[in-house]
Amino acid sequence: MLIIIFAWLSMFFTTLFAPPKHLWTLVTTQGFFIALFSVSWIFLQDFNFSNSLFFIDKISGPLAILTCWLFPLTMLASQSKMYLEPVNRQRAYIANNTFLQLTTLLAFTSSDLMFFFIFFEASLLPTMIIITRWGAQERRLEAGMYLAFYTMLGAVPLMVWLIKFYSTNASLMSTLTYILSISQAPTTYPGLFWATYNAAFLVKLPLYCLHLWLPKAHVEAPIAGSMTLAGTLLKLGGYGILRTSTLLQENFLNQLLPVMLITILGILATALLCLRQTDLKSLIAMSSVSHMNLVVAAALIAHSWSYSGAMAMMIAHGLTSSALFCLANTTYERTNSRTMILLRGAMLIFPLAGVWWLTIVLFNLALPPTINFAGELLIMVTIYNWSPIAFLIVALNLIFTTAYTLYVLWSTQRGPLPTHIKTLSPFQIREHLLLSLHILPALLLILKPELIF
């Protein structure tokens, strides 16, 4: 495992010393090689590896693979815009992205919960730098502030709990606590306790009501920032909840009904909110919130099926939402606008891109053979098992998801072509490659879904 970390560290040397002319080619190629190497190494361990520093199992393995896979894709996506900037800024951008990738990977794979916490928080730093330095508009500073304050505030109770847990049980190693079944002693208000210490994760996921930073961050972030944010950073929250849930013995669902209510209504509310967005990126961000709230619901139900569903959902969503941001970025790079009404009729000039839109949007909608569907189905089944009324509300979400999917397709692909976008540069092979590399893993997972359950 250290080999992989050092391999990723070697990216910094390439970033700093590569000749400016070949910077992006070298970085992207090296990224792909290291990603392939890491992915095959984790496969060879059969998702079952632990030593004193690292721990890979069925929960962290798939997420670590997702993190490794997305890094070269972010490099592939950002090069056309970044290429125009001064070389030093390009290097700083790549270095910050590598740093972000490294902290996320370390957070997913470290076996000690305190290390997890440190890297979890450390990932905030490069994210903030990327958003505030390379963001598109003035309001990126506000977005950075929101991000920092929400995350920092949520982190405090978690830190207190981790220190307390360490001082009573003398260990935070996931492997050890699991084997010796060390767990948190019963508390007076278990529901409140769960909600407080998970606040850091619920903010990161984000739970509805705590999600205000997300659309802002997404709208302001450059493409690599959006991709990593949607692809891996949100999953850190889900991973944290799943990872720490083994430290609790009881099921607190009865005391957590208010949180469950927020989650269930949040799924519906964000899907409805999507219908009212005019900004393409903030629509995709809202749809992420809707999907991630399903993960919160699954984690609250705490059943083995719902955990599998949450895992499938996170991996599938990581691939599809990142792909959606890439698509939004392809139009953004050409028209410098994210307003959907200005992007109408794209199918007339980019028919092949229309196919990508349809495919990826259908993945996002959870069309049956996809892995998104498998995740959603598992979660819905457990929700039905818990309460048929909650199930009905979540089922309504399917209708609104379809509605906003159609809204996206209609408003970006159909309709008359506005005159101002008749002279756009055609799609490059790079962009087709980028999108197919997102969809390929999602398609392969349909054939072998047991990898992430």
Ligand X SMILES: *[C@@H]1O[C@H](CO)[C@@H](O)[C@H](O)[C@H]1NC(C)=O
CB of 124 to ligand X, least distance (A): 13
Q: Which one, 127 or 382, has the nearer CB to ligand X?
A: 127
| Those residues with Cβ within 8 angstroms of residue 147's Cβ, 6 or more apart along the chain or in another chain | 124, 127, 128, 131, 213, 216, 217
Contact in structure between 219 and 281 (CB atoms under 8 Å)? yes
Q: Going residue by residue from 173 to 212, which x/- string records binding to ligand X, judged by CB under 6 A? A: ----------------------------------------
CB of 129 to ligand X, least distance (A): 5
Contact in structure between 96 and 126 (CB atoms under 8 Å)? yes
CB of 27 to ligand X, least distance (A): 13
CB of 85 to ligand X, least distance (A): 11
CB atoms within 10 A of CB 289: 25
Site membership for ligand X, residue 297 (CB under 6 A)? no
CB atoms within 10 A of CB 44: 8
Structural Rg of the chain based on CA atoms:
21
User: Which region, judged by CB under 6 A, interacts with ligand X, from 20-28, 70-78, 88-96, 315-323?
Assistant: 88-96
Contact in structure between 224 and 130 (CB atoms under 8 Å)? yes
CB of 94 to ligand X, least distance (A): 8
Q: Which one, 143 or 394, has the nearer CB to ligand X?
A: 143
User: Which region, judged by CB under 6 A, interacts with ligand X, from 93-101, 179-187, 323-331, 373-381?
Assistant: 93-101
b/e 49-78 (16+ beta carbons within 10 angstroms → b): bbeeebbbbbbbbbbbbbbbbbbbbbbbbb
Site membership for ligand X, residue 96 (CB under 6 A)? yes
Q: Which of 95, 159, 362, 424 binds ligand X (CB under 6 A)?
A: 95
Q: Which one, 88 or 423, has the nearer CB to ligand X?
A: 88
Handedness of CA 244, 315, 368, 364 (dihedral sign): positive
Q: Going residue by residue from 124 to 143, which x/- string records binding to ligand X, judged by CB under 6 A? A: -----x---x----------
Tell the residue number behind the tokens 């879904």, with chain if given: 449
Extract the tokens encoding 113: 């919960």
Residue showing the smallest CB distance to ligand X in the complex: 95
Residues that bind ligand X in the complex, under the rule CB under 6 A: 92, 95-96, 99, 129, 133
